[in-house]
Amino acid sequence: MAYESQLKEGSQRWSPLQGVILTVLACAATTVLATPLLGYLDLANIVMLFLLTVLLVAVKLGRNQAVLASVLSVLLFDVFFVPPRFSLEVANIQYLVTFAVMLATGLLTAHLAAGLREKAQDAERRERRTEALYQVARQLAGALAVEQIDELARAFVTTQLNAHAALLLPDELRRDLLQTAGTPGVSIEIHLARMAYQTGETVRSEAVRSQGDASLYLPLNASMRTRGVLALRFDDPYFDINSETLSLLEAMASLIAVALERLHYETVAKSSEVKMLTERLRSSILSALSHDLRTPLTAMVGLADSLSLIKPPLPTVALDTAQALHEQAGRLAGLVGNLLDMARLNAGTVTLRKEWQPLEEVIGASIKLLGAALARHPVKVGLPPDLPLLEFDAVLIERVFCNLLENSAKFAPADTPIAISATRQGDWVAITVCDSGIGFPPGCTDALFDMFARAPQRSGTPGTGLGLAICKAIVEAHHGNIHAENRADIAGGCVTFRLPVGYPPIIEEEKP
């Protein structure tokens, strides 16, 4: 502590040797000044002069010097004032009491005055540090770059503690710590730094300190996580790192951490803004494309239909052609829809509008939407009555059911049923769509869900192989999974997708 204060208060303080010399001089001066007064003053009052000297020494020079002054005063008083003068001998034995009291008073004064002085110095030092901390906090709050934070931290440590600091920040993947550029004179023991980073505790090593390496590693703990490590190397290997220094450094570390966290979130906010703008652009391109593709298709479907309205009626051949035009345009519309959906899902521009809902509703809506396409395939829906509500985007899951039902209708012979069933499997609900068609080619059921994949024996039937890929993308966006298999009992294929159950909301019972 004494040494530490000397470092910073060198201008007001003297070295121990100077202190001793000054003390000796002060006592000698007192002796010289008091000698002419010997005839006029009582010895008791001369004792007072010496005690005053001790007090002054204690206040100005500190405890050790005051002790020295007490002893010197007693000796000088004895030699120069107490008869017989100029000898240590004492004529009157009662002077021994005087000496004892004088020494005791001197020592006590020395102790009290020096204590007071240390407290005052201590308070002053704390105030300076608080002021410095306050200043650096203000500067850190305005820091716009990591380099600035680094510079402020190093400057603070150098001026306040006469030490050298280095800032260690994690790399982008938070796998390792990297030293910031421009930290000369600090060699880092990286394993100690990692320990501090991983545990979030301050690490000290006396062993590396004697080698002149950085010996103190403070984690930069911010509210979310540890943002890095502040490493310190002290110039003086015997510098005492006391609890006050530590708490100062820890305060500094948390200020740096907060500043780093603020910078981090600023970066995040900026990049998410860029991302948002990109996504907005992408989705506006997609919806413009969607509009531009659908408009002519709408006209084609409608115009083909309106041929049947012509009076007098067109010949049957022409009406059949019109109907075929309608169907082809409708298929093209379906294809465009699938392609655009896939583009949206791949671009990541789909924001799920997840809501808790019963499964049966979206199944019913899908069956109704397909309408005529399912005319030759009765759909049997078998859902257990205790099926929980599921959280999903109804529009997207409707698309999954539509694609699966459409596939089944396309590949299963006419008038064979399609079955939809669901079962609870622990934390999942598995939903299966089964048909009685030709099933899937064995061994490549996983590949069916790749884009543009088509089963070889199905190439006679029109299709792009997008349907199942979209189903997969949608189900996976819901954190579910999907797979296909052939029925064990009879011919036919099944596609099963599973959605997580999650935590369905409670529906309050209605009071009757």
Partner 1 sequence: MSQSAKVLIVEDESQIRRFIRAALEDEGCQVAESETLRRGLIEAGSRKPDLLILDLGLPDGDGIDLIRDLRGWSDMPVLILSARAQENDKIDALDAGADDYLTKPFSVGELRARVRALLRRRSRSGDDASPVVEFGDIHVDLSRRIVMRAGEPVHLTPLEYRLLSLLLAHPGKVLTQRTLLREVWGPSYVESSHYLRVFVGHLRQKLEHDPTQPQHLLTETGVGYRFQP
Q: Does the protein bind partner 1 through residue 313 (CB under 8 A)?
A: no
H or E stretch at 140: helix 95-141
Stretch that binds partner 1, among 70-78, 173-181, 354-362, 471-479 (CB under 8 A): 354-362
**Residues 89, 95, 100, 102, CA torsion sign:** negative
Pick one of 333, 370, 430, 438: the residue that binds partner 1 (CB under 8 A).
Answer: 333
N-term to C-term CA, the chain: 79
Stretch that binds partner 1, among 95-103, 166-174, 484-492, 502-510 (CB under 8 A): 502-510
- Span near partner 1 by CB under 8 A; candidates 52-60, 108-116, 180-188, 389-397: 389-397
Nearer of residues 246 and 336 to partner 1, judged by Cβ: 336
Report helix, strand or coil for 488.
coil
Residue type, 468: L
Helix axes 95-141, 243-306, angle to 10 degrees: 10
Q: Which stretch binds partner 1 (CB under 8 A): 55-63, 120-128, 352-360, 410-418?
A: 352-360
Q: Is 488 in the site for partner 1 (CB under 8 A)?
A: no
Residue 84 dihedral angles phi and psi, to the nearest 5°: -75, 135
CA triplet 53, 64, 82: central angle to 5 degrees? 40
Q: Which of 364, 417, 441, 500 binds partner 1 (CB under 8 A)?
A: 364
Nearer to partner 1, 152 or 363 (CB): 363
The site string for partner 1 over 414-433 (x = CB under 8 A, - otherwise) reads --------------------
Q: Which long-range contacts (CB under 8 A, 24 or more apart) does 66-69 make?
A: 66/23, 66/106, 66/107, 66/109, 66/110, 66/111, 66/113, 66/114, 67/107, 67/110, 68/20, 68/23, 68/24, 69/23, 69/26, 69/27, 69/106, 69/110
Hey, which residues between 230 and 289 contact partner 1 (CB under 8 A)?
Answer: 287
Closest C-alpha to 70, from 17, 32, 35, 26: 26
Interaction between residue 381 and partner 1 (CB under 8 A): yes
Q: How many residues bind partner 1 (CB under 8 A)?
A: 52
Please report how close the Cβ of residue 433 comes to partner 1 at its closest, in angstroms.
Answer: 14
Copy the structure tokens of residue 111. 């102790």
Instruction: Return the axis-axis angle of helices 95-141 and 63-80, rounded to nearest 10°.
Output: 160
Is 346 among the residues that bind partner 1 (CB under 8 A)? no
3-state secondary structure of 230: strand
301 binds partner 1 (CB under 8 A): yes
Is residue 405 at the binding interface for partner 1, with CB under 8 A as the rule?
A: no
Between residues 212 and 502, which has the closer beta carbon with respect to partner 1?
Answer: 502
Residue 291 interacts with partner 1 (CB under 8 A): yes or no? yes
290 near partner 1, judged by CB under 8 A: yes
Residue 360 engages partner 1 in binding (rule: CB under 8 A): yes
Reading the block at residue 219, the tokens are 């984690």
As given in the structure block, the two tokens for residue 265 are 């979130």
Task: List residues near partner 1 by CB under 8 A.
Answer: 287, 290-291, 294-303, 305-306, 308-309, 326, 329-330, 333, 337, 340-341, 344, 353, 355-358, 360-365, 367-369, 379, 381, 383, 389, 393-395, 398, 504-505, 507, 510, 512
